Amino acid sequence: MPVARTAIILGSVVLVAALAVGAGTALGAFHRVGPQFLVTTDVMPQDVRQQAADWWWIERPQKAKARLVRVHGGVKETVASADEIAGYDLDGESSAWTSRVAGHWSVQRRRGDRVETLWSGADRVGRPAFADASVIWAQTHEDSPPGAAPLPAIGPRTEVAMFADGAPIRRTGRLLEASGDIIGVRGGHAFVACSRAIGGPPSVVYDVSPVNGDARRLAAETDAVDAVLLSSGELVWTAPSRDSAQRGNVTCVRSIGSDGQVSTRSDWLPHGGRLNVSGDALYYSGGVGDGGAWSIGRNNQLPASIRPPQGFVVVGVGSKDMLLESLASSVTSMRLYTMPIR
């Protein structure tokens, strides 16, 4: 082969290889999108959720009213403000939340720009949930005699309440527990996380039928549980590790299948975190002393660590992105960023 032709062919090969490398580098750079600034806030977000392009969370300052917050297009909006906000749920363009002002509790729903009160009274209400066109919440009534022993028969009573447009509120499913948060509703069943002590964290989970009130205890743990309901209908919750000698410092993730059998999905997680759902993908974040997130598998697998870029910690995991805080933030001015999960 003539030398000149060989040089041309070799040069073409080098050029094609260089273009391929460049394209691969550009593609890799596209997939490795770095943190993008979202907003600044003055307190750590709690109960973080992502819905389409919006972020939602609750802010609970020590010396100011609690706030339910929505961030849309980089603009932070206070949806509700109260002395206490117990929780919220989202359903398309609608949102619902429970809150307390002084000694008065209420359940409210927003559709578009219209806010309506579905119920109000002195009984404490926990986190609500949408169920098709209805809103469901757990309502706790306490009338124990002063100084009474902490016995279930004379303690607080928690009932599941359901509101549907054009119908009276239906109350059913009486539970001898001190409070209740609705985890979610699937197939005519409401899953409720309850606390055994007034003001304490939830530690027991029930399956309650809003129709006939039948209640079945699914799980009870010795520590606080954070429970979520996957789109498949699988109930998942956190619990103290069964394998660690220091059970209070290590968390596992347990689940109950359609056959009613409880199993451990994953173990050896830093305690104190929360579960985050993205479709049927499950994540864990916010563990004590841990600035990352964890991907939760099945069949007692070890969790897969997801580390944020240097200088950031994970605040929460949404449907497709992570919410990050910059370590360069000050105590009263926290800079929040978003970044794709993968």
Please write the tens of the pLDDT for every residue from 75-116.
999 999 999 999 999 999 999 999 999 999 999 999 988 999
Please give the Cα distance from 175 to 217 (Å, whole number): 10
Q: Determine the 3-state secondary structure of 42 from DSSP.
A: coil
Classify burial at 234, counting beta carbons within 10 Å of its beta carbon; exposed 0-12, middle 13-18, buried 19 or more.
middle
Residue by residue, DSSP assigns 64-106 as S-EEEEEEETTEEEEEEEESEEEEEEEETTEEEEEEEETTEEE
Distances (CA, A) of 146 to 127, 194, 201, 267: 28, 23, 23, 42
- List, in order, residues 6 or more apart from 118 with CB less than 8 Å away: 96, 106, 107, 108, 109, 135, 163, 169
DSSP secondary structure letter of residue 14: H
Q: What is the pTM assigned to this prediction?
A: 0.85
**Residue 281: CB atoms within 10 Å:** 16
- The rounded distance, in Å, linking the Cα atoms of 330 and 342 is 28
pLDDT tens, residue by residue, 213-244: 889 999 999 888 999 998 888 899 999 998 88
- Report which listed range, 42-56, 173-187, 233-247, is most confident: 42-56
What is the residue-averaged pLDDT of the chain?
Answer: 85
* Confidence band of 144 (pLDDT split at 50, 70, 90): low
Q: Tell whether the model's pLDDT for residue 33 goes beyond 70.
A: yes
| Least confident stretch, 139-143, 144-148, 207-211, 298-302 | 144-148
Residue whose pair of structure tokens reads 């578009």 in the numeric block: 112
Residue 205 CA from chain centroid, whole number: 16
Length, in residues, of the chain: 342
The predicted pLDDT at position 156 comes to 84
pLDDT value at residue 329: 86
